Amino acid sequence: MIEIALFGAGRIGKIHAGNLAAHPQVRLRYVIDVHAPSAQALAQQHGASVCSVEQALADPAVGAVVIGSSTDTHADLIQRAAAAGKAIFCEKPVDLDLGRARDCASAVEKAGVVCMIGFQRRFDPTFHALKQRLDAGEIGQPEVLLITSRDPSPPPLDYIARSGGVFKDMLIHDFDVFRWILGEEAVSVYATGSSPGFPEVAAAGDITAAAVTLRTASGALCQINTSRQAAYGYDQRFEVLGSQGLLQAGNLRPTEVVAWGRDAISQDKPEHFFLERYRQAYALELRHFIDALVDHTPVRTSIGDGIKALELAEAAARSWREARIVELP
Amino acid sequence: MIEIALFGAGRIGKIHAGNLAAHPQVRLRYVIDVHAPSAQALAQQHGASVCSVEQALADPAVGAVVIGSSTDTHADLIQRAAAAGKAIFCEKPVDLDLGRARDCASAVEKAGVVCMIGFQRRFDPTFHALKQRLDAGEIGQPEVLLITSRDPSPPPLDYIARSGGVFKDMLIHDFDVFRWILGEEAVSVYATGSSPGFPEVAAAGDITAAAVTLRTASGALCQINTSRQAAYGYDQRFEVLGSQGLLQAGNLRPTEVVAWGRDAISQDKPEHFFLERYRQAYALELRHFIDALVDHTPVRTSIGDGIKALELAEAAARSWREARIVELP
Amino acid sequence: MIEIALFGAGRIGKIHAGNLAAHPQVRLRYVIDVHAPSAQALAQQHGASVCSVEQALADPAVGAVVIGSSTDTHADLIQRAAAAGKAIFCEKPVDLDLGRARDCASAVEKAGVVCMIGFQRRFDPTFHALKQRLDAGEIGQPEVLLITSRDPSPPPLDYIARSGGVFKDMLIHDFDVFRWILGEEAVSVYATGSSPGFPEVAAAGDITAAAVTLRTASGALCQINTSRQAAYGYDQRFEVLGSQGLLQAGNLRPTEVVAWGRDAISQDKPEHFFLERYRQAYALELRHFIDALVDHTPVRTSIGDGIKALELAEAAARSWREARIVELP
Amino acid sequence: MIEIALFGAGRIGKIHAGNLAAHPQVRLRYVIDVHAPSAQALAQQHGASVCSVEQALADPAVGAVVIGSSTDTHADLIQRAAAAGKAIFCEKPVDLDLGRARDCASAVEKAGVVCMIGFQRRFDPTFHALKQRLDAGEIGQPEVLLITSRDPSPPPLDYIARSGGVFKDMLIHDFDVFRWILGEEAVSVYATGSSPGFPEVAAAGDITAAAVTLRTASGALCQINTSRQAAYGYDQRFEVLGSQGLLQAGNLRPTEVVAWGRDAISQDKPEHFFLERYRQAYALELRHFIDALVDHTPVRTSIGDGIKALELAEAAARSWREARIVELP
């Protein structure tokens, strides 16, 4: 039985709490949140207690921490949890500052603790099945990867201002998908973007739509297009062209109803947003984390993956800001 | 070069004239229609002449006739054309009266002429490909056939009154598909129906919606559902369940545009009606007829097929009218 | 908090136990099964106790029973649970014998207890959404219903022998869907069938493939086709043609991967079998049962629905056996 | 009646000859080809004569020329035909050399003749319908355009060597689609590429896979990905994200057969190659050209469009070769 301290009782914290509850070898012991009523409510629902960060990390019964609090708390919590010898599951990004993120990685390495970063897309059944078929050689050597990644609508402007920009906030997932699917690192990044319909985002020094191109040493090409707004909802697709064929990962739909009317034949829009779209992925990534702890096997998305994705996000942001191609070491 | 006399300058006659024009070994010599201006216009467009039935059949240069005139003229024209030694292509049905249709078959046999009935669906590329894959054994032994056959909206009531009823007018194509796909004859027929929203059709002794079940000697089952009205248009699908899998034939669409909007993801409705849906099928069936004449090979849809489909239509109509299962000899 | 006694610790019992565990207002108190180790294991997993039928029904703390034991135990358990004043959730069918099933309905009525029959398909998100859109008038008046219902492969012959036949065992779900979707009772039933490739089933007096036609008083038509074997797996589709359009309910797929290869473009087969396909439906039906108990609202699938579906199954079996159309009162 | 001289009796020349034959207001008068037997055969099939370039252009009966000969003949024929006052339909590209292409445009302008460039994709029913819906405002303002454009397999190396490179040879169509769909010119181009599996192409100074990003003044983004090889065949898709939704143009399939087998559910691959995929587009573009001549209306794809697409191809090639972003004036 692994006892868990959960940092963050917000939207994603609730998801993680529910998924932890479903695992027979886990007990949620503490919920920690700066907003006391949220911590209280979530703790009560799962038979846990509310405590402070210090208490949680000082309790030897706690085997692992799950960090779902705000981004600016990640680095501190990772470093303190590592120092306390706790296994760590942390939402992306490690930190908005690459230097600080690297410090976290050093701390984790030094402490020798498990640290998994929440790149939940790798656990999505559709994405995961595609990756397995790719690795099994079904389409030969991967040559071109196209990623479409769109949100239904932008977050509030003050969130955007604190978000680290679209490359670190949104595209970081896509950079991880790029590395995971192609199994290679990028040698160059080109990014451009704009903010159609959102002049206030442009004024805040960010963009709402981006087009990114990555190249690997072997010559594989990746195009990512992203947008903070899509009138029809959340859109998460990618396709890989290989030497022997193509594999596509499509969206999920709430139902399989098809309506034939006077104007058109129509089906459901994609699942509304990430909490619905990646519901299974969130469950599977936490199960993987717990199983890795129980079985002493490596986690699939390490803090190293978190650093690498962050490096790509920084490079892409630089490419966009300086309007030039950025070479990677 | 085969010289053709075309009977009927209406909707289907124009289709056939256009398709004949595209065949390099054919010349349209005569157009015959009771409505002189239609005959004149169509003849002129294709460099043909207008003449009487007598003249056309008496002209030794005429090698074949294409009968696309109204149903009540089919039997007479088949018999006279057969007597004149002409090869015959005739639209379905041979005749609304089974006895008269059989007389036509006898006349054709006696004259030893080619006589092809226009079951164009067998030439539709989608239906044809399915049949070839079925015959190649892709899904093993066929066991269950489901046919959906719907018109966008009913014809005028006076047409319905002269049509021979829904079984002879609409379902005759589906009965032919049943025989063609399963490669067996029926041993029993059950039919029921209704006229939802069309009391005037019910009052005229017909129905607008029918559900038919056929059984073959080997135990294969076929369900046909038809309707004279479908708000979304023309619907022509079937699927065959075999011991090793399933083959479906779907509708065609005017374009492959998909729209993702606030409410749904939508694509085009099916092609509007039979002239659009079976455009390629009409071209291919006439090419087959001409090729058969040129190469002295058998036609794929003989007058015998026309008789068999008519027998099923009569049996189904009897089953519906008498509310009983009809056994077939 | 409602305390539950669960009868049956087999495949479906485990599903129900898991779903009960997820409901915050429920406690699984007892697991009862003739196979002691199964009862023990399931009870232990959920913190429940093993006991006898008598003990469970005598315990006043037990508010409701969930019956997932073998079909031949249903009637007895329903009657005893009703006499004990317990709310009842019971898997279909109530009983293979219509008379006994009616006795159960009487017992339930007399006791004034809630009794819900497990027609889980009504709770499937896709089927449920279709029904809601139909009721909202999206396609006008329903006129034609087509149901396809196929299993991946037949159960063992000894199961078939005890199953009550394909109409009571498999089609009972489809008869419920028919009543639910069209919102009307049948006035006539026609059924035919065969056992292609399964002579041993025919020898046992049953069939593996059936084609059923139902008619309602208003003239709505329903065709059901079923098969105990489909090489590609579990197939659960239906479509309703209404005066203003068509609504289709399609299969679910494990993933949304699409592969473009040298021969074809392919996607996943449907979810393997009912436990996967109706996973969400099983969860939602139990939640509905509990919510109905908590909120004192009626259950959506009553024992009366169980009787009605059984009547249709009997009528269809008679139609098939006697090769005649069966009128319903 | 417009009399036509057709230059080129190869693959595309035959397509054009057939489409001209179907137009009632056109007569194919001459076929000109350096390969005499090809010219002879095609002329004979359509009742035309074989002649020299000089004869064709000197004949005052010739109203228009259709240029389907090899790329290196285009510029010369356009200039001579313009000087002779003939209306001109010419396959893309105008010329591989941008300067020469501009000279052609000047010659056309000076002569005041109609000159249409064969960007047939604009006439494809699916692409055309999408453009009309976009212009009708269905998805608001276009913001992101994604184009996928893949050939089944590369042409022979000696063709590639003469082709002007992938940007002028293949992507020129995509550059035209970009300009047409977004209705704006590019302000910057970034291109990268590789030749996975085709070192001989790389050795010849070309690439087989390219990733291009275009930006317009208004901030619209376009990503094009292309490959000279796709194991599954010819792939021609694009999608436009607008402020109110998304429009996708999908591939066409030879048939609508769907097969459900033990491993997957599969449908046809896309139409094999451009002659099949754009069969309707080729017919419609020539009909448009003739109609424009008859009705004295402007052609939709002018020589100016040909120049603009060529400018983008040059800029993209430069971007790729020099590994830098190219700004456009």
Cα nearest neighbour of B247 on chain C: C232
Closest partner residue to A259 (CB to CB) among C245, C255, C259 is C245
Query: Is the pLDDT at D21 greater than 90, yes or no?
Result: no
Residue range D154-167: mean pLDDT, rounded:
94
CB contact under 8 A, A209 and D150: no
Query: Do residues C166 and C226 make contact, with C-beta atoms less than 8 angstroms apart?
Result: yes
Q: Strand order of the sheet with strand A115-118?
A: A49-50, A26-32, A2-7, A62-67, A87-91, A115-118
* Digit-coded pLDDT (tens) for B36-81: 999 999 999 999 999 999 999 999 999 999 999 999 999 999 999 9
Interstrand relation of D245-249 and B235-242 (parallel, antiparallel or unpaired): unpaired
pLDDT at D24: 82
- Which residue, C66, C71, C54, is CA-closest to C20? C66
Query: Number of A:C CB contacts under 8 A?
Result: 81
Query: Is the pLDDT at C208 greater than 90, yes or no?
Result: yes
CB contact under 8 A, A125 and C255: yes
CB contact under 8 A, B248 and D254: no
Instruction: Tell me the C-alpha distance between A68 and C13, whole Å.
Output: 35
State the nearest Cα–Cα gap between B173 and chain D, in angstroms. Answer: 19
pLDDT at C179: 98
* Digit-coded pLDDT (tens) for C262-309: 999 999 999 999 999 999 999 999 999 999 999 999 999 999 999 999
Instruction: Tell me the C-alpha distance between B316 and B326, whole Å.
Output: 8
pLDDT at D316: 98
Query: Is the pLDDT at B329 greater than 90, yes or no?
Result: no
Helices D303-322 and D98-111: crossing angle in degrees, nearest 10, is: 170
Q: Which residues of B touch A237 (CB under 8 A)?
A: none
Taking any CB pair shorter than 8 Å as contact, residues of chain B touching chain C are 139-141, 143-144, 146, 148, 150, 188, 190, 192-197, 209-211, 213, 215, 218-223, 225, 227, 229-232, 235, 241-246, 323-325
Q: Which residues of C touch A259 (CB under 8 A)?
A: 133, 138-139, 245-248
Helices D125-135 and D171-182: crossing angle in degrees, nearest 10, is: 30
| Structure confidence at residue B208 as a pLDDT band (50, 70, 90) | very high
pLDDT at D170: 96
* Digit-coded pLDDT (tens) for C65-119: 999 999 999 999 999 999 999 999 999 999 999 999 999 999 999 999 999 999 9
Closest partner residue to B232 (CB to CB) among A231, A261, A267 is A261
Q: Which residues of C touch B196 (CB under 8 A)?
A: 141, 143, 218-220, 243
pLDDT at D22: 82
Closest partner residue to D221 (CB to CB) among A194, A229, A244 is A194
CB contact under 8 A, C265 and D261: no
Closest partner residue to C192 (CB to CB) among B141, B221, B244 is B221
pLDDT at B21: 86
pLDDT at A23: 86
Residue range D64-85: mean pLDDT, rounded:
97
Amino acid letter, residue B84: A
- Which residue, D266, A249, B222, is CA-closest to C232? D266
| Helices of type H across chain C | 11-21, 36-45, 53-58, 71-83, 98-111, 125-135, 157-162, 166-169, 171-182, 199-203, 274-277, 279-295, 303-322
pLDDT at A329: 87
Give Cα D158 to chain centroid, integer Å.
21
Query: Is the pLDDT at B22 greater than 90, yes or no?
Result: no
For tokens 């640290």, name the residue. Answer: A115
Query: Is the pLDDT at C24 greater than 90, yes or no?
Result: no
Closest partner residue to D130 (CB to CB) among B250, B254, B257 is B257
The torsion angles phi and psi of A251, rounded to 5 degrees, stand at: -75, 165
Query: Do residues B269 and B262 make contact, with C-beta atoms less than 8 angstroms apart?
Result: no
What is the residue-averaged pLDDT of chain A? 97
Q: Which residues of D touch A242 (CB under 8 A)?
A: 231
CB contact under 8 A, D243 and A196: yes
CB contact under 8 A, A227 and D325: no
Query: Do residues C215 and C223 make contact, with C-beta atoms less than 8 angstroms apart?
Result: no
CB contact under 8 A, B247 and D255: no
State the nearest Cα–Cα gap between D267 and chain C, in angstroms. Answer: 5
pLDDT at A249: 98
Q: Which residues of C208-224 are buried (b: 16+ CB within 10 A; e: fewer)?
A: bbbbbbbbbeebbbbbb
State the nearest Cα–Cα gap between A284 and chain C, in angstroms. Answer: 15
CB contact under 8 A, A129 and C255: yes
Instruction: Tell me the C-alpha distance between D256 and C289, whole Å.
Output: 43
Q: Which residues of A touch B268 (CB under 8 A)?
A: 264-265
State the nearest Cα–Cα gap between C259 and chain D, in angstroms. Answer: 9
Specify which residues C222 forms β-bridges with: C145, C214
Q: Which residues of C touch D265 (CB under 8 A)?
A: 232, 266-269
Query: Is the pLDDT at D327 greater than 90, yes or no?
Result: yes
State the nearest Cα–Cα gap between C235 and chain D, in angstroms. Answer: 10
Query: Is the pLDDT at C23 greater than 90, yes or no?
Result: no
Q: Which of B192, B207, B265, B318 to mutate to test the interface with C (most CBs of C within 10 A)?
A: B192
Instruction: Tell me the C-alpha distance between C76 and A222, whole Å.
Output: 65
Query: Is the pLDDT at C27 greater than 90, yes or no?
Result: yes
What global pTM score does this model have? 0.96
CB contact under 8 A, D251 and B250: no
pLDDT in tens, chain A (329 residues): 899 999 999 999 999 999 998 888 899 999 999 999 999 999 999 999 999 999 999 999 999 999 999 999 999 999 999 999 999 999 999 999 999 999 999 999 999 999 999 999 999 999 999 999 999 999 999 999 999 999 999 999 999 999 999 999 999 999 999 999 999 999 999 999 999 999 999 999 999 999 999 999 999 999 999 999 999 999 999 999 999 999 999 999 999 999 999 999 999 999 999 999 999 999 999 999 999 999 999 999 999 999 999 999 999 999 999 999 999 98
CB contact under 8 A, A246 and D223: no
Q: Which residues of D touch B21 (CB under 8 A)?
A: none
Cβ-Cβ contacts under 8 Å for D285 (sequence gap 6 or more): D116, D118, D119, D120, D122, D123, D301
State the nearest Cα–Cα gap between B283 and chain D, in angstroms. Answer: 15
* Digit-coded pLDDT (tens) for D22-59: 888 899 999 999 999 999 999 999 999 999 999 999 99
CB contact under 8 A, B324 and C325: yes
Q: Which of D134, D238, D257 to mutate to test the interface with B (most CBs of B within 10 A)?
A: D257
Q: Is residue C93 reached through a cis peptide bond, with omega within 30 degrees of 0 on the bond before it? A: yes
